[in-house]
Every structure is written in C-alpha cells, then in structure tokens.
Structure 1
C-alpha cells in the first residue's frame, strides 16, 4: 500500500476532515470477528462426534455456513449440555449452536436469533407397548424417560408428574434406556430422535406414538442460536447471515443432507 507524505502546510478544514476519515480504522463489517461456538456433540443428527472425534451434524454445518456468510472466524467448543447457558454467560464462548429451543425461561437469560429450525416434541415407545397419547391415563403404570435440563423434562414435571419418570444425563443415555427397557416410553424432540429411529439397529425397537406435542411456553418457537443478552452486534450478524444462507440455497442444501423434508 502506498503512503503519501504531506508537507507541514496547514490543510484546509475540508481537506483535514477527509484526511482523518481516510485514516480511520476499518468498520466492523470489514473486519473478521473471532468467536467461539459451543456445541454439545452428543445429539445426532444435529451434532455429534464421528469416528475421528470430529464434530459433524446439521448444527455444525449450519454454524460453518453462518460463519462464512457473516465473515466470522469461528472455533468450536464441545460443551456438556447442562452448563451450556451458564458458561455462555460466563463468557467461556460467544454463541450456542446446539439445537437449543427458545423457551420463555431461556429467553430471560440469553438472547436468541430468529428460528433456524422447528421441531415438535413427541412420545416414542417400545413397539411392544400399546399406542399412547400424552395423557396421564394412557401413561399410567408405564415408566417415562426424559433428558436432564431439557424442555421435555420441564414439560413432564408440569403435565406428567403422576408418571414414574427417569431423568437421563444425555440423549444417548435416554435412547439406550428406551432400547434396553429401563423405560417404556420417552418424551423427546421429534427431529432429534428421527435419525436414531430410522437409521440405527437399536432404534428398530421403537416408534413414534400419538400426536406432535407443541407448547410455546416449554418448547418455544423452535431452535435458535443463543448469545449473551448484551451482544446485540453478534446477534445482528448471525440473523443477517441466516437470511443470506436461506436466500442463496445453502440452508436447503444442508437440510437435504440430513432430512427428507424441510425443517424450516
């Protein structure tokens, strides 16, 4: 870059202003911001570790696409689920892209982007159990499973408190508990468990039962990307990037890789 040297003459006011403007630091939009993104890594097909211990899944590919569109330099952090929001608030990372539903309780603690996918919750039963609805009389005498620190756990506490319930530490433990008969039925995010039911040997034991369960108070308006409440600049960048990848077809490309139907 060439640099022009000026004489010691006094510059006209207009010229001085132009000179100062020309030497200002580049705007934020011209810089690449470094951010850290938390992902659980135990929630296939949305986020999981492959045989090489590399992060894969819908959430991960979407996050990478957003980083490209938003001109962000992103580093992924594998984070245990129950500490996701507390550690975001403590600034151990800057965003959560890990299929987090936007419930009212979470909105009080963090800010969310617009929805990047939507999925109802649903009951999943062993095939040797009769068809069920999310009604206490249907679930009487059965053992229910949920995952700790999830919207499904909170929903079960409110509406299914009369059912014997086991709380599992993480989703893989929940699915194993259903497959091995520790519990008879589980309450889970429909898209999250789809891959296990459709594409694993263990999942052949079980099936969806009853209608989709939707409740904005518990399950929010879908999954969003969480940032700290005061990080409005990053929130705007991510929302703009999300609009861009939906408009240019990148979102649909990622969607089709994991699901035979749209999850927008």
Structure 2
C-alpha cells in the first residue's frame, strides 16, 4: 500500500523527553524507538518525512491545528482519543511486570507463590488494582512514587515490586540498581487494566495515510527492522 501523495513531506510530531521511546540524541535531533520506527515506516512507504519535537502536552493540539500530520509519541490509545483522531494498530504496549532481588531466589509470581509475600505497588494505580484482583493473598505495600518503591526493593524491604514494565526494565538494567534486581515471571497485558498501548495518530480526514502507516508497520515487523530497533533501544526487555 502506498501513502497518499501530498506533494510535501509528511510531518511527524514527537516529544524529546521520554527515553528510550523518544528523546533528543547527541546531535539534538529526535531519536528513540518510536522515532526510528517512524523513520523506518517512511522508508517502507518511500515518502519524505520530517520529525519535529514539541512539548508532550501540546502534541494533540498541534496535530488538530494542522501543524503536523502524524504523532509518534507515547500517547495512550483510549476511547476518547479515538473519538477525535485515527490511530494505527498498537505498535507498543505497556506491560506490567514483577521485579525481585536477584539474590533471594524467590519463586515466579503466581497467586499461590505470592501468598503472604510483600509486593510494592504505586498507591491507587492500575497495578495495585490488578494485584488485589488476581493475587488476593499477596501483601501490598503502597508507595507514592516508583523511585521509593525501587529503593525499597533494592534494600530488601519488600519481596517483589509490581509496576510498569518499561520503567522496571530501565531500573534493573541501570546503574542505580547496581545489579541488585531482575524482572521475574512474564508480562501482564490486560487492556482493561494497562491500556491498549500506543499507535501512530492522525486526523480523521487522513484515513488513507493511517491505512498506509498501518501497512508499513506490518512490513517493518515482517522484515525484522522492528526487532532490530527494539534490541537497540531496550537492552533489558520490558516484556
């Protein structure tokens, strides 16, 4: 499928403060998994594209006012968003993951294995609700922010931490963790709790462009480019 011919470059909008998905590279230009995926999509469609960084909270308004054509950023796909914009199928989802100290030899999380075990969660979060629903005998310990929970895990004050897999992957693979901890068990992807993920967002009148982007995303997946980019930007997989 070919992109509609507009006679000009397709303008992608992103944010440059959310690594590893989108951030400013050493030369100041936008890069990251999402940005390079967008560039790969443009190559598949043999179209000229530009990528402009804007403040995250202005992206949807900028698209709506025709200051760009496509948003490539970590804006969650929701029903209210779809009422106003089009989006491709999700190209990245937000997994929930458990992490534990690497030296404790704790069992892989299950409803039975977590009975009586302390599990850190963000207070009032979807992860806290999921833990309560599916691991009812776990002992939740609520935190106000993820950094505090990560510190408690590192010090051995909690057995497990259950949170956003992307942030946990960055933590366990980063210097601050000092190899204390590791992801354990699989990824949890229930839409009802953790959302649909993120896709490329366009205006409703650009349906042909949205379909072309969807097709190109599939081809990027099929030829291995998606995996190449994923491994480049996620040294520790959030999945």
Mapping of residues 163-202 of structure 1, within 5 Å? 164-167=142-145, 174=146, 176-181=147-152, 185-188=161-164, 190-191=165-166, 193-198=168-173, 200-202=174-176
Counterpart position of 1:21: none
Task: Calculate the aligned-residue CA RMSD, in Å.
Answer: 4.3
Per-residue deviation at 1:35? 1.2
SS at match of 1:202: coil
Please, which of 22, 25, 30 is the counterpart of residue 55 of structure 1? 30
**TM-superposition CA deviations, 1:183-231 (whole Å, max 9, x none):** 963510x355434423x21133433245422212243444322223443
CA contact (8 A) 1:126 1:178 kept: no
In the alignment, structure 1 segments of 5+ residues that lack a partner are: 1-26, 147-152, 168-173
Choose which of 104, 108, 126 in structure 2 pairs with 1:155: 126
2:212 aligned to which of 203, 221, 237: 237
SS at match of 1:98: coil
- Looking at structure 2, the residues matched to 48 and 241 of structure 1 have their Cα atoms a distance apart, in angstroms, of 23
Name the SS of the counterpart of 1:115 in structure 2: coil
Structure 1 residues 79 and 205, CA gap change in structure 2 (3 angstroms): farther
Which residue is 1:74 aligned to? 50
Q: What is the CA deviation profile of residues 75-124 of structure 1, one whole-angstrom value per residue up to 9, with x for unaligned ones? A: 221433x5554554455543222244434454344321123244522133
The C-alpha deviation readout for 1:170-192, integer Å capped at 9, x for no partner, is xxxx4x4444449963510x355
Residues 96 and 127 of structure 2 are in contact (CA less than 8 Å); yes or no, is this contact kept in structure 1? Answer: no
Aligned partner (choices 7, 13, 16) of residue 31 of structure 1: 7
Q: Aligned pair in 2 of structure 1 residues 156, 57: CA closer, same or farther (>3 Å)?
A: same
1:258 CA drift (Å):
3.7
Q: Measured at CA, do residues 245 and 49 of structure 1 come closer, stay the same or move farther in structure 2, by a change above 3 Å?
A: same
1:24 matched residue in structure 2: none
Q: Distance in 2 between matches of 1:101 and 1:234?
A: 20
Aligned length: 220
TM-score, normalized by length of structure 2?
A: 0.65
User: Is the aligned partner of 1:145 residue 2:116?
Assistant: no
Residue 64 of structure 1 pairs with residue 17 of structure 2: no
- Unaligned segments of structure 2, at least 5 residues: 133-139
